[in-house]
């Protein structure tokens, strides 16, 4: 049963925070700055409610949001090597905001822009128009995202986009989760991912090749604690400072864009479990490697591995791969993605 009890409150600087609430009093707070996930309040096995998302103390932190807390990422989630690609014979240079890489839409990505709220009985719908030339990308893109929260604790994000000229697109949500509510880091969380391969990266975290997960720290086909895997002597973990890699998700041959469950994370202490489903081919697992010293909403700064991200997306730098056409948004061929995160409690 779908219940989207929607309320709103001003957050300062003309920004509004919207709250979706279900019948179990689970609450998801979303900002119209960056269509950003601010908080997700949910109970543990003892009925104690806590916030599952990392974030800033108030809206001021989201004005530049260097950690990308909860942001709706676009036009391009993840990295483009050297910020360069060629489309229909034309070479493009986009904003490079991570050394020589383009990362998460550039210095003025979707996660920083004001989104418009549109009436929708299904939930909270936000829209954005990204003009041609935004961060160096061609074509004007019209983006819509719908957030829905049901009574079973499932937050569904439905993305759609159209363009008036060909342009790369790769949208994702960059929420940082901690299922114990921030009482400790995420090393005790037990993770599983439905993937037989992942993308190995170079020193700039640009994919170099697909590799089998079997026999490596990256094998989460059976549930395993994140902390134990972080301790493995794996060269790829050294390169990234932890996990910051894209998994090549299993996809049904008859319907490769079907929505299917791809990952679960369980916190033994609280009993909370996060189950993720997506229609996307890739899943970036990020273990919060660069959180140290980031000032959040707690009394102390965040530390390394205080949160994790599960980002549904196309593959990093795919616009420069042999399969680049799959990430090109062309007029008359809309972009669509559905990703959901379901919070439940195990005894």
Percentage, residues of the chain above pLDDT 70: 99
- At residue 163, φ and ψ (nearest 5 deg) are -140, 155
CA–CA separation, 204 vs 92, rounded Å?
20
> Which single residue is written with the structure tokens 């550039």?
106
Catalytic residues: 174, 311
The pLDDT confidence band at residue 12, using thresholds 50, 70 and 90, is confident
The 10 Å Cβ neighbour count of residue 251 is 16
| Listed residue (159, 161, 109, 117) closest to 139, CA to CA | 161
- What is the pLDDT at residue 7? 86
Q: What is the pLDDT of residues 234-275, one digit of tens each?
A: 999 999 999 999 999 998 878 878 899 999 999 999 999 999
pTM (predicted TM-score): 0.96
| Tokens standing for residue 43 | 């109970």
Is the pLDDT assigned to residue 71 strictly greater than 90?
Answer: yes
Q: Which of 3-7, 111-115, 245-249, 285-289 comes out lowest in average pLDDT?
A: 3-7
Half-sphere exposure of 297 (CA within 13 A, CB side): 18
- What is the pLDDT at residue 5? 79
> Looking at residues 31-47, what average pLDDT do you find?
97
Is the pLDDT assigned to residue 276 strictly greater than 60?
Answer: yes
> Is 3:155 a contact under the CB 8 Å cutoff?
no
> Looking at residues 93-100, what average pLDDT do you find?
97
- What is the pLDDT at residue 3? 54
86 vs 1, higher pLDDT: 86
CA–CA separation, 9 vs 40, rounded Å?
16
The CA–CA distances, whole Å, from 256 to 129, 238, 278 equal 29, 33, 11
CA–CA separation, 35 vs 50, rounded Å?
22
Q: What is the pLDDT of residues 174-213, one digit of tens each?
A: 999 999 998 899 999 999 999 999 999 999 999 999 999 9
| Listed residue (253, 298, 327, 262) closest to 78, CA to CA | 327
Q: In angstroms, what is the C-alpha Rg of the chain?
A: 19
User: How many helices and strands in the chain, by DSSP H and E?
Assistant: 3, 27
Q: What is the pLDDT of residues 299-322, one digit of tens each?
A: 899 999 999 999 999 999 999 999
> Looking at residues 73-81, what average pLDDT do you find?
98
- What is the pLDDT at residue 1? 45
Helices marked H in 116-252: 226-230, 235-240
**Three-class SS of residue 327?**
helix
């Amino acid at each position: 049963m779908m219940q989207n009890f929607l309320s709103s409150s001003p957050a300062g600087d003309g920004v509004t925070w919207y709250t979706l609430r279900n019948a179990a009093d689970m609450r998801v707070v979303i900002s119209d700055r960056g269509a950003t996930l601010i908080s997700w309040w949910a109970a543990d096995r003892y009925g104690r409610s806590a916030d599952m998302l990392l974030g800033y103390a108030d809206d001021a932190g989201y004005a530049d949001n260097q950690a990308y807390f909860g942001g709706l990422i676009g036009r391009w989630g993840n990295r483009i090597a050297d910020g360069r690609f060629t489309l229909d014979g034309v070479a493009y240079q986009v904003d490079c905001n991570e050394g020589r890489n383009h990362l998460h839409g550039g210095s003025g990505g979707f996660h920083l822009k004001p989104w418009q709220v549109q009436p929708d009985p299904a939930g909270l719908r936000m829209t954005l128009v990204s003009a041609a030339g935004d961060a160096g990308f061609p074509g004007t893109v019209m983006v819509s995202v719908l957030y829905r929260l049901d009574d079973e604790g499932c937050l569904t994000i439905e993305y759609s986009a159209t363009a008036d000229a060909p342009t790369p697109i790769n949208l994702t949500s960059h929420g940082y989760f901690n299922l114990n509510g921030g009482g400790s880091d995420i090393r005790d969380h037990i993770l599983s991912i439905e993937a037989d391969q992942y993308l190995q990266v170079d020193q700039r975290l640009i994919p170099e090749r697909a590799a089998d997960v079997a026999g490596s720290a990256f094998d989460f086909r059976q549930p395993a604690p994140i902390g134990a895997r972080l301790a493995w002597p794996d060269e790829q973990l050294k390169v990234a400072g932890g996990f910051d890699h894209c998994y090549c998700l299993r996809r049904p041959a008859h319907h490769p864009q079907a929505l299917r469950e791809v990952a679960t994370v369980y916190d033994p202490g609280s009993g909370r479990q996060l189950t993720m489903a997506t229609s996307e081919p890739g899943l970036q697992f990020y273990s919060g490697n660069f959180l140290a010293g980031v000032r959040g909403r707690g009394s102390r700064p965040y530390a390394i591995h205080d949160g994790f991200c599960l980002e549904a997306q196309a593959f990093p730098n795919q616009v420069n791969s042999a399969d680049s056409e799959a990430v090109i948004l062309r007029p008359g061929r809309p972009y669509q993605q559905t990703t959901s995160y379901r919070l439940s409690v195990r005894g």
